[in-house]
Amino acid sequence: MHMQQVTAVTATGAGAPPGTVVTVRGAVVDVAFADAGLPPIHTALRVAWDRPELLLLEVQGHLDLHTARCIALQNTAGLARGTTVRSTGAPVLVPVGDAVLGRLLDVVGQVHDLGPALPADTPLRSIHNPPPTLEQEASAIEVFETGVKVIDLLAPMAQGGKAAMFGGAGVGKTVLVMELIHATVEKYRGISVFAGVGERLREGHEMLSDMRDSGVLARTVLVYGQMNEPPGARWRVPHSALTIAEYFRDQKHQNVLLLMDNVFRFVQAGSEVSSLLGRLPSRVGYQPTLGSEVAALQERIASVAGTAVTAIQAVYVPADDFTDPAVTAISSHMDSMIMLSRQLAAEGFYPAVDPLASTSALLDPLVVGVEHYRIAERVRETLARFKELQDIIALLGVEELGANDRLVVKRARRLQRFLSQPFMVTEAFTGTPGRTVARADTLAGVRAILDGETDAWAESSLYMVGTLDEAWHKEQASAPTPHAAEPAT
């Protein structure tokens, strides 16, 4: 909806006859409109109650000719029957444009960073916008370098594409997303929009402080609907963040880096809303509208000619079940899928990215080049063979393998260690400075390991380093021996 239309609709709705609250059941509020037609679906209603806090309702359905069923976007504690409700005549509107840069907003665009209020002339935009048409969309074929070795090598991300980190509880999704923010936002010449969906309050404070300290907050917008908020807020906050991103894409023609943590909480909030509205659950208890809700969100994350929206999303995997309906619904929209492994995390390999399960549409010789593609395939073959041999090793030991298989095991173990990497966001906890590695350095290091140039090195020399040169210096410092030759570059 264009700005002129939104303003006109709001002005029209301002004089509409008010409604009255007839039922309050937690986040679900029924409103009766006795003398006027019902407001359309997705219309925002403002509650005129005796509290200073804003309370907005969003129409979700019509129970009869006079009653609308709504979802509250803020806490309804203290809301009584008989309270007056006025229709805004428009969907929920959020502030957009340069005024929101460097600010922390909630689902309806209120400022929560203890800073000054937004200017009165800040433009507003509806959170419900259609995705670009197929003719308008631009395909994503340019690699978006992250500086994280295992991602750039095996699951490269696309400039203007969608990437998701899938993993269970405690395997490092948020840490990986935070590292990608550190690694990419500082060198990224564009606008960054972060959507915190159903996450912890502590993480919101940390994000705001980190971005302020690193000097990138001036080009970033933070939009939060956290786990202490009602399901309506958590359900709509990704749409609010997307609306801000779309404004910079369409009106300002600026590239946007869109970061979401955690998309599963969006699905979870939608499931709560569906149950509160009385819909029968579908597969595994999820809402029957799961596929359409995810599609409505993900299809809006699109690039148009000349302007890219690059999305990095964290996705919680309940009970480590990658066949969960929510996970499969989200993964079907992704260009790059980065799977995190609990086993690798338990063994101390961070980032705990599963190199065999992670995939990317960009891992194609026409996109990344023939050399990169061949190296990635050799890495997968080596690690896949190592995985096949692990049962035999557990039973009989490495000594019982043939010479070729022993060589595969030796190089696979070194690859596993080299693909680990110290992060900037964990430096305060580990004492190890973070590393960002260029894709060319990653390819050179992996090629050297595959070619046997590090066979004589200690495995520990390759663990938690950046480039292979750093590993060589570590090897020299720990056990300088004549056979630890510097690898060819």
200 included as an active-site residue: yes
- Contact indicator for 303, 254 with CB cutoff of 8 Å: no
**Which helix H or strand E contains 478, and what residues bound it?**
helix 468-478
Going from the C-alpha of 129 to that of each of 132, 161, 283, the distances in angstroms are: 9, 19, 28
Tell me if residue 400 is catalytic: no
Start-to-end CA distance of the chain, whole Å, equals 55
Q: For residues 366 and 361, what is the distance between their CA atoms, to the nearest angstrom?
A: 11
Location of structure tokens 């929101």: 100
Q: In the structure encoding, which two tokens stand for residue 380, read together?
A: 């997968």
Residue in the structure block whose two tokens are 């690690």: 383
User: Among 173, 249, 265, 447, which one carries the catalytic annotation?
Assistant: 173
The strand pairing partners of 58, in sequence order, are 44, 71
Cross-strand pairs, 196 = 224, 261
- Among 200, 299, 381, 459, the one annotated catalytic: 200
Q: Which of 300, 295, 362 shows the shortest CA–CA distance to 333?
A: 295
410 catalytic, yes or no? no
- Catalytic one of 145, 199, 229, 293: 199
The secondary structure of residue 194, as a DSSP letter, is E
Q: Which residues belong to the active site? A: 173, 199-200
